[in-house]
Structure formats: structure tokens, C-alpha cells
Amino acid sequence: MNLEKFCFAVEERQIAVDDSKHSIINLDEKTTFLPADYKAIVREDNNKVISIVKSSYKLVSNASLIDLLLRELAMCGHTFRFDFDHSYVDSSRMRLVITFPELKLRDSESDICLSAYLHNSYNGSESVRFIFGAIRSVCSNGMVFGKVLSRYYAKHTSGFSFENLSEKLEEAKEYFPILQNRINRLEHTIADEFLVDKISDRVSKRLAEQVIAQHEIGKISQWKIYNRLTNYVSHELDPAYAARYQHNISKVFAL
């Protein structure tokens, strides 16, 4: 995977529909067009319709977002790399992961490098989001720190900017002691029935049953459970669904 796969061209087009009277759509007959408050988002390389959206929807292309991001990253003062193992893209949505290998937390086994997740969609399923998280070195688990660290967020009706990304990275570093203390506490806190019930209710009952056996409850740490969950989501789950699970896991463990 490379950045080219994320940067396919898209465009907005007017929508014409069958008027139920003729076998061929007549583009000269204005009654065959949908009202002006709708438009189509079309992928240019294959001419396929991605979605039908309201005219107020502001098209923000993956290519323009990535270009803005690269400009800001070049001036942020930190080494970065794109993590394509944890990234995802199809015609409708993308999730691009950027890792900062010099900005690290630690647990008892591994470095945990600060990462950022850039989200976008062309079908209205989610707005543009830029969320901080981490990648654990020992097993390449993807983590989201949505509860503790700041994030950018914009609906497709209002536009988006990476303005002050350098400042956001510096703010994120200021929260490292809080995150490190939280990680240390999770490493020394036993996973009890209450935690397992929270995972079942807020993440997935089936996932809870897969990552912790009944006889382990009350014997292993909450951090071990957290890493089992993030490992499964990062390596076993369909990447298209990973973000939702990572956010819910983050909330359960107050990260």
C-alpha cells in the first residue's frame, strides 16, 4: 500500500434519473434531474458513483487532506512515518495512520509510539477526523487515546484544517505523564467481573469472551486485557470496522 491508493480523484456531478416514461434518460429533459439539493460523488478513474449527498455536503478529498497533512508534518519538528499496516482505504472511506517513533510511552514490555489517525469519507458515514493514539512496538497493536488527547474534527459541511498541528503535538506530549500513569495503573490493576461486563456491554460480548477466559478473571491485569483487545482488533478484525472498536475500547479503559 502507498499514498497513491488514498489519492484517487473524485468529483461532484448532477444527478439524472429515469422518469418512468422512457427507456433512456433524457438529459435535455430537466424533470429527470433530482432537485438541486442533491448531488453525486463520483470516482473519476472508474466513473462509479460513491454516494448521493445533500448539496450542503462539502467534498473534502483524501488527496487534499493528505497534502495539507504532509505540509504540516514537514514543519512539525518530529520524525514521522506512515503506518500502512494499520491504515485502510476503499472508495467510500479511508483511515491513514501516522506514527511518531521518537515520541514514546512505555509499558513493562515495549515502547508505545505516539500515532495519529486521519479519517475521511465520501458517503457521509463519518466526518473528517484526526485522532491521536499509539502503536505498541512488541505486537504492533493499534490504540486510540481519544479520551485523553486532543483531536481535530470537522463535518463535511464546514471544511477542515490542520492549522497548529505542531502545537497539538506539543500539547499531546504534555499529556504523556497522565497517559504513562494510567498505563502503569492498568498494569497493576486486576481485571475483575465489572471490567469484563463493561467490555461486553460497550465493546462486544463475543470479543470479551475471546480475550479472557472465565478462570482468568481476578488473576490477570487490566493492561493485559487491553492489549489482547487491541491486538485482536488490529490483526484479526476487518480494518473497515477497527476504528469503532478502538474508540469503544479507549472509553472502557479511560484512555
Per-residue pLDDT of the chain (255 residues; tens, 9 = 90+): 589 999 999 999 987 766 666 656 666 666 666 566 788 999 999 999 999 998 888 899 999 999 999 999 998 889 999 999 889 999 999 999 999 999 999 888 889 889 888 999 998 888 888 888 877 765 566 666 755 566 667 777 666 777 778 888 888 888 889 889 999 999 999 999 999 999 999 999 999 998 899 999 999 999 999 999 988 988 888 887 888 888 889 889 887
Q: Does residue 148 share a domain with residue 67?
A: yes
Q: Does residue 154 share a domain with residue 192?
A: no
CA–CA gap between residue 184 and residue 57 (Å, rounded): 44
Q: Does residue 237 share a domain with residue 201?
A: yes
CA–CA gap between residue 161 and residue 5 (Å, rounded): 22
91, 48 in Cβ contact below 8 A?
yes
Domain tally, the chain: 3
Query: Does residue 179 lie within any of the structural domains?
Result: no
* Reported pTM: 0.84
Domain that holds residue 42: 3-54
